[in-house]
Each structure stands twice: as C-alpha cells, then as structure tokens.
Amino acid sequence: MTVSVADRALTGGFALLERAMGYTLGGLVLVRPEHMAARTPCAAWDLRTLLLHMNHSLLTLHQAVAAGHLDLAAASNPEADYGDPTVDPVASLRNRACRMIGAWAASDGPVEIAIADRRLAAGFVAATGAVEVAVHGWDVARACGQDRPLPPALAGELHELCLLLVDDGDRPHRFGPEVELPSTANAGDRLLALLGRTP
C-alpha cells in the first residue's frame, strides 16, 4: 500500500516545515542593505516588503500552533513595527524563525488547528507553511541576484503537495499563471513554475 501525499503531510508536516525553514535561513546570508529595494519574483514587492511578509507568516504559524487556532483578522494585519524603517527585517526573521520552530517542536498538540469555521490537521497546516517558507526563500535569493536551487527532495515533496493545494481559484490573486517547462525540468523548477515563477 502506498502512502498518499496528504497522509505524508499529516504525519510529517512539521519535519517538512523545519527543512523548508533551514533552506530559507541559509539564504538570508545573501541579503545586504543595498538589496532591500530590489525587485522580487512577487509582483509589486521589493525585498524589504517580502521579508516583512515572511516575518508575518512565521508569526501566524507560531500563533496557530501555540493557540490551536488562527485569528484571520490578526493574520491579515502585520505587526505595527513592520512599518518602522529602523527594524532589521532579516534579524527579525531569524529570531521569528527560531521561536516558530521552537513552538512547533515543543508542542504536544494541537492535533487540529481552527481556521475560521474549519478545523485542519496541524500537520497539514505545517506542511502548507513549508511551501510558503521555502518558495519565499528562493524569492529572497533571486532578489539578491543569486540562483539558489531548492533541495531536490524537499522540492519534490512540496511540488506533490502543491498539486493538491493549488487550483485555478488561486490565480491570479495568490499565484501567477503556471509557467510551461520542458518535461525534463527538475522538481524545484516544476514547483516554482506551478506557483507562477520562472525558474
């Protein structure tokens, strides 16, 4: 009997999130002050805006596991200090990542996380977070002018997961149109293309 992608996400979501975070943290060393105004693969976002968005995403993942529910109103409003130009978004992101991963690692639960009127398995929430973390990690490297491929095994698992998660209803608001690639493209490129990025 084969284990489905969804089953793997349920049982291994936190491990996937941890691996994605490791990849992204490794790429933050590329960021220099002069990169903050650089364009990113995310339409209309410069690098500073992307880093602040990532900070907020990690805060949301932290609160989800700590509280067992996700406050959608709070999730849509970044912390007030994000508008402060003196805040170093890279240092903040590193700190936020450590606290977020620590919260998930220390948690004995919840088994489910409430999001609006739905309840999702915590592993699935973590796996979904892994997609966001890893792909934005790639975005950061590109904004810094570097090609930093996603690890093949991680990319393959995230690509399989995204085939379940992403549909036409997500475009063009959350993702751009899927980019066509040759059949020989690797897992990392297929993941990026599925999410509207040109590898």
Contact assessment for residue 134 and residue 154, using Cβ atoms and an 8 Å cutoff: yes
The pLDDT value recorded for residue 40 is: 97
Sign of CA dihedral 166, 131, 133, 152: negative
pLDDT digits (tens, 9 = 90+) for 5-25: 767 766 789 999 999 999 999
pLDDT of 53 reads: 92
Token output for 19: 């691996």
Which domains occur in the chain, in start order? 5-154 (1.20.120.450)
For residues 90-103, b (16+ Cβ closer than 10 Å) or e, as one string?
bebbeebbeebbee
d(CA 129, CA 151): 17
Average pLDDT of every residue of the chain: 89
Its pTM surpasses 0.95? no
Q: Could you give the 3-state DSSP secondary structure of residue 118?
A: strand
Q: Helices 5-27 and 152-165 sit at what angle, rounded to 10 degrees?
A: 130
Of 108-112, 156-160, 162-166, the least confident: 108-112
Tens-digit pLDDT profile for residues 63-101 = 999 999 887 666 555 544 455 677 899 999 999 999 999
- Give one word for 182, left, alpha or beta, with left for phi > 0 and alpha for psi -120 to 50: beta
21-57 pLDDT tens trace: 999 999 999 999 999 999 999 988 999 999 999 999 9
